[in-house]
C-alpha cells in the first residue's frame, strides 16, 4: 500500500475543504492511483542513509567526552565502578 500525507490546512476551514477536494480530484483523475514524486529512493539509498545515521549515533554512545572508547578490546561496554572508600 502506498500512501502520501498531505497537509490540508487548519481543520474544518474552507481552505482545508478546498485542498481536500483538490487532492481527491487528483487521485480520482489518476484512476485512483497515487502519483508519487518523480525521484523515489531505492532500498539501497535508504539503507545507506540509515547506516550513516547509525554510525554517527552509536559512535557517540561509545565514546567518552575526551574521545576515548567506552569499549574494551572485545567490544563490550566498560562500566566504571564508583566505590566509596
Domain membership flag for residue 20: yes
Tell whether 24 and 48 lie within a shared domain. no
Which domain, by its residues, includes 45? 41-79
The model carries a pTM of: 0.39
% the chain with pLDDT above 90: 15
- For residues 36 and 76, what is the distance between their CA atoms, to the nearest angstrom? 44
When the pLDDT of each residue in the chain is averaged and rounded to a whole number, the result is 77
Domain total of the chain: 2
Domain membership flag for residue 3: no
Q: b/e string for 34-61 if b means 16 or more Cβ within 10 A?
A: eeeeeeeeeeeeeeeeeeeeeeeeeeee
Tell whether 47 and 72 lie within a shared domain. yes
Give me the residue label for grid cell 542513509.
Answer: 49
Q: For 23-45, what is each residue's pLDDT tens digit? A: 899 889 989 887 766 677 889 98
Domain membership flag for residue 75: yes
Tell whether 58 and 46 lie within a shared domain. yes
Domain membership flag for residue 1: no
Amino acid at each position: 500500500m502506498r500512501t502520501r500525507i498531505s497537509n490540508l490546512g487548519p481543520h474544518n476551514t474552507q481552505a482545508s475543504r478546498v485542498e481536500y477536494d483538490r487532492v481527491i480530484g487528483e487521485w480520482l483523475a489518476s484512476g485512483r492511483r497515487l502519483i508519487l514524486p518523480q525521484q523515489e529512493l531505492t532500498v539501497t539509498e535508504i539503507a545507506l542513509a540509515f547506516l550513516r545515521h547509525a554510525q554517527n549515533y552509536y559512535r557517540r554512545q561509545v565514546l567518552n567526552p575526551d574521545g576515548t572508547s567506552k569499549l574494551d578490546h572485545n567490544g563490550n561496554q566498560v562500566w566504571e565502578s564508583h566505590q566509596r572508600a
